[in-house]
């Protein structure tokens, strides 16, 4: 009822009803009600057509004034509320630091952090694992999947929907180069890179991704903690070594070759999913291995790996573990180099280490209860991957770190090439060659501790 009485058309409606009632000889509307509604002339019973016209005009003006005043107040409230919302969501100066000077994660800010390219001055996004590279690209809703694109490239004119697949590649600006390769760029390449990152242990551990628009990218590197001293009046300033240096991401080529029969490429109902999954899994494993240990062969053309970082912390000659003490020692080494315990992101090691540790018992005679981990070790994420070091099947190594100080630089393009001449003539097989260009860089070696010589 209250809503009806407050409606802006209520008064004019009552006027019309009252007039019609008066003309029809209907006298059952109480005079008090009409007077209370501002219709005193109707209540008095002295109503003419001129009076009705004047009343309608007066009421219309009142309603217009009330509406304008009400709308103005609503507009003011909306503007003030908008300012409050903006201020509440506005990041502090620098956009990535909290009140203690700590770098905020994506979960804390909801924003993608950026670095500034010293040469060009342009901002460079730095993505956490949960942030998608594709989210910063303009994406069409009709964008095909990477698997579908691969099927089109592999099948060529043999596919039943070859014309449609060719049109999709044309719309995306993907055309074959003289060598028969297809370079995928833009949003679709970003989606494939995101798929690689989703499979990469280093990304899950906390390594951040830096998209590269050129072959190399130079960033600042912390080479040592600054020297802090107390200063006496007029005394000489103590000399200190520089605490910053330069580290360069140089895009290096990683490739994967997959072979399959011509018949399978034409007849398999799930060829799209298989191609995308196999290539993504193989590439991500190789990239993880390079980021962890580098390559002993062709070392100059692959990332060096954290195991080779000159300034890293080390716990060596661990032997056959009977407890989690070696991991406690590794975390302690990081804390000595001012890595807060809460920043130590994960322990990465070979599954052989998991097997060894999982079988440890309490050590009490005749007690087969599994060894309990210290609380800090229990909550530490652990990632087991065959990309981690294992020598001779008996000696492993692991890494515990603040993985945010490891940057994964990647060019925003993927190249796919179908090799037919080498295989079709002999056994009716196709070769699919996919390659990406990427690199790793540590911005602070002391944020990493290698745990070496674990006998498994």
The pLDDT tens digits for 113-152 are 887 666 677 788 888 998 888 777 665 555 666 666 666 6
Radius of gyration of the chain (CA): 35
Listed residues 71, 89, 107: the one ending a domain:
89
pLDDT at res. 44: 54
Closest alpha carbon to 256 in 278, 274, 283: 283
pLDDT by residue (tens digit) across 21-34?
A: 554 444 455 555 55
Q: Which residues, 6 or more positions from 317, have their beta carbon under 8 angstroms from its beta carbon?
A: 452, 453
DSSP label at 90?
Answer: P
DSSP label at 226?
Answer: P
Residues 395 and 254 placed together within one structural domain of the fold: yes
CB burial of 388-424 (b: ≥16 within 10 Å; e: otherwise) equals: bbbeeeebbbbbbbbbbbbbbbbbbbbbbbbbeeebe
Q: What is the pLDDT confidence band of residue 348, given thresholds at 50, 70 and 90? A: very high
The H-assigned helical ranges of 159-296 are 162-171, 186-199, 201-205, 262-267, 271-293
Residues 134 and 70 placed together within one structural domain of the fold: no
pLDDT at res. 429: 78
Token pair, residue 244, equals 């910053």
Token pair, residue 331, equals 């975390």
In whole angstroms, give the CA distance from residue 450 to residue 305.
11
Q: Which residue has the higher pLDDT, 383 or 99?
A: 383
Find which of 8-17, 258-267, 440-449 is predicted with most confidence, using mean pLDDT.
440-449
- How high is the mean pLDDT of the chain? 77
In whole angstroms, give the CA distance from residue 54 to residue 350.
91
User: Residue 125 in contact with residue 112, Cβ under 8 Å?
Assistant: yes
User: Residue 98 in contact with residue 104, Cβ under 8 Å?
Assistant: yes
User: Residue 364 in contact with residue 423, Cβ under 8 Å?
Assistant: no
Residue 446 lies in a domain: yes
Closest alpha carbon to 441 in 123, 221, 115: 221
- Between 271-293 and 186-199, two packed helices, what is the crossing angle to 10 degrees? 60
pLDDT at res. 367: 84
Q: What is the pLDDT confidence band of residue 57, given thresholds at 50, 70 and 90? A: confident
User: Residue 445 in contact with residue 309, Cβ under 8 Å?
Assistant: yes
Q: Which residue has the higher pLDDT, 162 or 383?
A: 383
Residue 378 lies in a domain: yes
**pLDDT higher than 60, residue 8:** no
Residue 150 lies in a domain: yes
User: Residue 143 in contact with residue 154, Cβ under 8 Å?
Assistant: no
pLDDT at res. 64: 80
Q: What is the pLDDT confidence band of residue 252, given thresholds at 50, 70 and 90? A: very high
Q: What is the pLDDT confidence band of residue 37, given thresholds at 50, 70 and 90? A: low
Residue 441 lies in a domain: yes
Q: Which residue has the higher pLDDT, 81 or 92?
A: 81
User: Residue 251 in contact with residue 215, Cβ under 8 Å?
Assistant: yes
Relative to beta strand 208-212, strand 181-185 is unpaired
Backbone dihedral angles phi then psi of residue 232, each to the nearest 5 degrees: -85, 150
Listed residues 33, 55, 89: the one ending a domain:
89
Residues 311 and 378 placed together within one structural domain of the fold: yes
In whole angstroms, give the CA distance from residue 411 to residue 206.
19
Total domains present in the chain: 2
Residues 326 and 275 placed together within one structural domain of the fold: yes
Residues 52 and 121 placed together within one structural domain of the fold: no
pLDDT at res. 97: 40
Residue 96 lies in a domain: no
CATH number at residue 294: 3.90.1690
Q: Which residues, 6 or more positions from 257, have their beta carbon under 8 angstroms from its beta carbon?
A: 419, 431, 432, 433
User: Residue 315 in contact with residue 329, Cβ under 8 Å?
Assistant: yes
Lowest-confidence pick of 273-282, 397-406, 425-434: 425-434
In whole angstroms, give the CA distance from residue 313 to residue 309.
9
Residues 76 and 135 placed together within one structural domain of the fold: no
pLDDT by residue (tens digit) across 169-227?
A: 666 556 566 555 666 767 777 888 888 999 999 999 999 999 998 888 888 777 777 77
pLDDT at res. 173: 59
Residues 15 and 127 placed together within one structural domain of the fold: no
Residue 103 lies in a domain: no
Residues 209 and 313 placed together within one structural domain of the fold: yes
Residues 379 and 456 placed together within one structural domain of the fold: yes
Relative to beta strand 252-261, strand 429-442 is antiparallel
Lowest-confidence pick of 341-345, 417-421, 436-440: 417-421
Listed residues 46, 73, 89: the one ending a domain:
89
Residue 102 lies in a domain: no
Residues 217 and 122 placed together within one structural domain of the fold: yes
Distances (CA, A) of 26 to 17, 22, 30: 10, 6, 11
Answer left, alpha or beta for residue 179, where phi above 0 means left and psi between -120 and 50 means alpha: alpha
In whole angstroms, give the CA distance from residue 140 to residue 168.
12
Backbone dihedral angles phi then psi of residue 179, each to the nearest 5 degrees: -85, 0
**What is this structure's pTM?**
0.67
Residues 42 and 125 placed together within one structural domain of the fold: no
User: Residue 416 in contact with residue 432, Cβ under 8 Å?
Assistant: yes
Closest alpha carbon to 410 in 117, 164, 197, 168: 197
Residue 273 lies in a domain: yes
Domain enclosing residue 182, as ranges: 115-225+242-456
Residues 207 and 350 placed together within one structural domain of the fold: yes
DSSP secondary structure letters along 142-168: TPPPHHHHHHHHHHGGGSTTHHHHHHH
Q: Label residue 136 exposed, middle or buried (CB < 10 Å: 0-12, 13-18, 19+).
A: middle
């Amino acid at each position: 009822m209250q809503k009806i009485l407050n409606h802006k058309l209520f008064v004019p409606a009552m006027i019309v009803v009252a007039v019609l009632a008066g003309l029809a000889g209907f006298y059952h509307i109480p005079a008090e009600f009409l007077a209370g509604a501002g219709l005193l002339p109707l209540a008095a019973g002295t109503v003419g057509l001129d009076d009705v016209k004047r009343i309608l005009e007066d009421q219309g003006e009142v309603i217009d004034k009330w509406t304008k005043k009400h709308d103005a107040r609503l507009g003011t409230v909306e503007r003030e509320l908008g300012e409050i919302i903006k201020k509440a969501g506005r990041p502090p100066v620098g956009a990535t630091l909290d009140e203690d000077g700590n770098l905020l994660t994506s979960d804390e800010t909801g924003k993608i952090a950026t670095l500034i390219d010293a040469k060009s001055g342009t901002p460079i996004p730095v993505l956490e694992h949960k942030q998608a590279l594709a989210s910063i690209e303009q994406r069409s809703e009709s964008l095909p999947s990477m698997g579908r694109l691969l099927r089109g490239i592999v099948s060529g004119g043999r596919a039943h929907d070859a014309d449609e697949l060719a049109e999709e590649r044309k719309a995306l600006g993907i055309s074959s180069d003289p060598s028969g390769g297809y370079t995928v760029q833009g949003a679709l390449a970003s989606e494939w890179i995101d798929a690689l990152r989703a499979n990469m242990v280093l990304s899950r551990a906390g390594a951040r991704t830096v998209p590269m628009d050129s072959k190399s990218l130079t960033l600042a590197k912390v080479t040592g903690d600054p020297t802090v001293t107390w200063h006496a009046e007029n005394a000489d300033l103590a000399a200190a070594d520089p605490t910053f240096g330069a580290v360069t991401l140089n895009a290096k080529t990683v490739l994967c070759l997959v072979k399959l029969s011509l018949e399978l490429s034409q007849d398999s109902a799930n060829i799209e999913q298989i191609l995308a999954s196999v290539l993504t899994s193989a590439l991500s494993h190789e990239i993880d291995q390079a980021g962890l240990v580098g390559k002993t062969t062709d070392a100059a053309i692959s990332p060096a790996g954290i195991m080779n970082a000159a300034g890293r912390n080390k716990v060596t000659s661990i032997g056959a573990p009977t407890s989690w003490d070696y991991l406690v020692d590794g975390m302690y080494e990081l804390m000595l180099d001012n890595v807060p315990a809460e920043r130590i992101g994960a322990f990465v090691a070979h599954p052989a280490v998991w097997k060894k540790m999982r079988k440890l018992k309490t050590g009490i005679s005749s007690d087969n209860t599994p060894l309990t981990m210290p609380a800090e070790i229990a909550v530490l994420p652990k990632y087991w991957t065959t990309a981690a070091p294992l020598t001779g099947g008996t000696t492993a190594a692991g890494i515990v770190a603040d993985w945010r100080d490891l940057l994964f630089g990647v060019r925003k393009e993927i190249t796919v090439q179908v090799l037919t001449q080498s295989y079709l003539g002999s056994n009716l097989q196709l070769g699919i060659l996919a390659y990406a260009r990427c690199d790793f860089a540590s911005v602070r070696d002391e944020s990493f501790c290698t745990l070496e010589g674990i006998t498994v």
